[in-house]
Structure 1
Amino acid sequence: LSGDEPLTLWAVLDESVLRRHVGGAEVMRLQLDHLAGCAAQSNITVQVLPFTFGAYVAFGYPFTIMSFPGAAGGEVVHMDQLHSGLYLEREPDLRRYKLAMNRLRAAALDPERSRELIVKAAEALT
């Protein structure tokens, strides 16, 4: 995500990842500070889906859409599972997950407000 030609990343995170303590307050603060720093990079977009939104498409089903411009089979969806991962490459599956991602991006806070929320969550741990 850095260097001369960094990859582009667009992440939509549930607000719970900012609030659920893993590793203690100091570890959480450092992680959130790092996330806020990453979100300030021009090639990284981070949006937070606030608690106020309630249930949403893909709730509890994290997924990643990976695009490989110029490569054969240029897109794939990856879903983490308990003991493995699942890769989807069929066009109907790709369409469904792109639609889900678009809905998540539309429902989430904009990148600036998301970064502010991440910074406030980190500050609350000091």
Structure 2
Amino acid sequence: MDPELRERLSTLARKANRRRMRGWWNQYGSILADTYRDYIALEAMAGEFRTFQAHLVPGLLQTSDYVRAVTVDSRQWQTADEIESFGQFRLARQERLAGDSTLHLWAGLSEAVLLQQVGGPQVMQAQLENLLTSSEHPHLTIQVLPFSRGAHASMYGPYVVLGFPEEAALDVVLVDNPTGSIWLERETEVARYQDLFDAAHTSALSPMESRAIIRRRAKEHRT
């Protein structure tokens, strides 16, 4: 690895570690895996989020009932106290989006996200209506990639690309899977996911068209 690149990554890791040690999320340490706590530490430093989700609403945009349904069905947390604690953590994590004007979130969603019956019709209706409300945030962009666009490279799974305000900072990628999460920091790997997101963004509906399909799907859950 290039020495300059290694130094930039090391600096970012040190900052994330300091934030991790004193971050608000430490009170939830008993229910969070180390990789996830590392992610939250980096998330607290990031100025830009680019995420594509194939099946679930992004965590930063989930309602409390949706969070609970996902938490219960994930089977990662077994007791009622663990489920409740993770729900509280997920909602506390959303506070930055509500109050930080420097944060930019760009969420790409497969149309499947709008149809998956997480928690049942009422939960989904409320969740989609929450997406509509969230889409009015000046620093939040939501785009839906409809089924009609066919196969695409991002359909294999969810990922998040984090960007940082420091001039020399590099983007990093988090890829989720059923057994945990994987960090990607190599320039070639990060560039691949940047290209994936750009392709999904280009193929997706515009923000206005996306709001229209979200509104339509919300009405369908109501019936």
Q: TM-score range by the shorter chain?
A: over 0.9
Are positions 1:16 and 2:112 aligned together? yes
Q: Which residue number in structure 1 is paired with residue 174 of structure 2?
A: 78
| Counterpart pick for 1:31 among 95, 106, 127 | 127
Taking a change above 3 Å as real, the CA distance of residues 97 and 27 of structure 1, as seen in their structure-2 partners, is same
Please, what TM-score do these two structures have when normalized by structure 2? 0.54
Provide structure 2 residue ranges, at least 5 long, that are not aligned to the other structure. Answer: 1-96
- Residue 119 of structure 1 corresponds to 215
CA distance in structure 1 between the aligned counterparts of 2:100 and 2:157, rounded to whole angstroms: 33
Residue 99 of structure 1 is matched in structure 2 by 195
Query: Which has the larger helix fraction?
Result: 2
Question: Amino acid of the residue matched to residue 185 of structure 2?
Answer: E
Greater relative CO (CA pairs within 8 A, separation 6+)? 1
Given the two structures, how large is their TM-score scaled by the length of structure 1? 0.93
Per the TM alignment, residue 58 of structure 1 is displaced from its structure 2 partner at its CA by 2.2
Alignment partners' CA distance in 1, 2:163 and 2:191: 13
Q: Percent same amino acid among aligned pairs?
A: 37
| Superposition RMSD in Å | 1.4
Q: What CA deviation, in whole Å up to 9, does each residue of 1:15-35 have, x standing for no partner?
A: 011012111110000000111
Map Cα deviations across residues 48-84 of structure 1 (whole Å, 9 max, x no partner).
Answer: 0001011101212211100111176431000001111
Larger radius of gyration: 2
52-61 vs 23-32, which moves further: 52-61
Consecutive aligned runs of 4 or more in structure 1 exceeding 3 Å deviation: 71-74
Question: Which residue does the alignment assign to 1:54?
Answer: 150
The structure with the largest strand share of the pair is 1
**Number of equivalences:** 126
- For structure 1, which segment, 9-18 or 65-74, has the greater mean C-alpha deviation from structure 2 after superposition? 65-74
